[in-house]
Structure 1
Amino acid sequence: MKTFKGLVLQHLRPLVCDCLDPLQFAYQADSCFTGERGEMVDTYKFLGVTLNNKLDWTDHTEALYRKGQIRLFFLRRLRSFNVCTQLLQMFYQSVVASVLFFAVVCWGGGICTGCANKLSKLVRKASSVVGMELDSVEAVTEKRMRGKLKAIMDNPSHPLYTELRQLRSTFSYRLTQPRASKRFGGSFVPSAIRLHNATAPSTSNPRRQRLVLIQPNLYYLS
């Protein structure tokens, strides 16, 4: 996706020598600064998110599932002391959900069906322990993606603000879907735009409506 590529280039150019291509440097094992050969690994944890050399989220969801099972054990132990549902829900949101849905806007739209079903199974187990229905993985992902997209569109200092502003439609509240490959189609920007367009009002822009009401003849002539 051109938007993502532009942001990567913008941050890599100051760190790379002039004789190297910034995108090619990102995949080189030799360090541009020390000249030493870096270690090649299959997975790498960056800011709490596990990345792998296949560019999918299987390793990350496996790590989340293991962490969720450990914390679900403590939730069951807490229920054994006859704790009320309100405190169980508070414990779930603070200890279990905070781990399961960390950075969900990054990986929520790109996980495979098997990984999504595994995390959903964990949420259903937690629901039975708490004694009430909890938000599913899909519901949390959609809610946080919409919230993050709205926060970006309301923040002019955000790096994606200008890019999203250029995708706005002149006649409605919808955003133009950027072209993306199958791999990047599940990333944040394409997924968030699909969710935004699914719930965007079908009416035209209010500025255009005021033009129609105030100067109808001009509108019909245009």
Structure 2
Amino acid sequence: MNINPHPMKFADNTTLISLIQDGEEYRQEVKELAVWCRHNNLELNTLRTVEMIVDFRRNPLALSPLSILDSTVVTVETFKFLGSVISQDLKWDTHINSIVKTNAQQRLYFLRQLRKFNLSQELLKQFYSAVIESVLCTTITVWFGSAAKSDIRRLQRIVWTAETIIGCPLPVLKELYSSLVSKRAQKITLDPSHPSHHLFELSPSGQCYRAPNTRTIRHKNSSPPPGNPPYEQLNVPPIVQ
């Protein structure tokens, strides 16, 4: 019996992000990744590998299908990455649909059942915070600033419904978003090794942060920085425009 002394392992949640200019450089990076995995006893599951291209140019490049180890990779318009459903057009309606229909509404049923059992208001609030609010706030610092107002209202209706069931006011999503982004931004400013640390640029006086330069609304509304949370929430002086 032959025993392979080099066990193979699958590389889970491996993501390659590349700027496509001519198409060939991008394919070379994918090829190098496949070679590196093979040399390190890792096997890419091409059946579960997908490709998504984000291109807002008027005349996008016509790219041929991507291949890995002689297997063609499926091109998709959306895919789930670290809890967020990312769309090809960088809109968040698909992600919010998954929150509302798949998670939040189903969990409201259990909140109603607990109310029928005459649980105290404090326990109902704890259940809401742990089971429903946690779902609404998952990766909220990524998508809330760029989400459409209609989608935000759909999420807020979940909060309003929970308020009716529990019988007391609950934090609105915008307040939760501002609080979480502020905490995230504070951590970034204190961590020079963070990839977004350079986005917080001090003014020449060193007493306040400059406002980020953006050319599109999509970039301006994205977060963490540059994003919607006001810089005064970072316990620093106002932004220099």
Counterpart of 2:210 in structure 1 is 175
* 1:82 shift after superposition: 0.7
Higher relative contact order (CA 8 A, sep 6+): 1
* 1:30 shift after superposition: 3.5
Counterpart amino acid of residue 138 in structure 1? K
Bigger share in strand: 2
Give the number of aligned pairs: 186
Counterpart of 1:219 in structure 2 is none
TM-score by length of 1: 0.74
Whole-angstrom CA distance in 2 between matches of 1:149 and 1:141: 12
2:138 counterpart SS class: coil
Matched, 1:98 2:103: no
* 1:106 shift after superposition: 0.4
Whole-angstrom CA distance in 1 between matches of 2:194 and 2:141: 16
In the alignment, structure 1 segments of 5+ residues that lack a partner are 1-10, 205-222
Equivalence map 1:200-219=2 (5 Å): 200-202=236-238
* Aligned 8 A contact 2:210 2:239 in 1: no
Counterpart amino acid of residue 178 in structure 1? N
Whole-angstrom CA distance in 2 between matches of 1:90 and 1:132: 12
Equivalence map 1:133-144=2 (5 Å): 133-144=169-180
* 1:133 shift after superposition: 1.0
Whole-angstrom CA distance in 2 between matches of 1:203 and 1:158: 21
Counterpart of 1:126 in structure 2 is 162
* 1:34 shift after superposition: 2.1
Whole-angstrom CA distance in 2 between matches of 1:29 and 1:195: 43
Whole-angstrom CA distance in 2 between matches of 1:68 and 1:19: 43
Equivalence map 1:142-157=2 (5 Å): 142-157=178-193
* 1:131 shift after superposition: 1.7
* 1:179 shift after superposition: 1.6
In the alignment, structure 2 segments of 5+ residues that lack a partner are 1-15, 31-51, 54-62
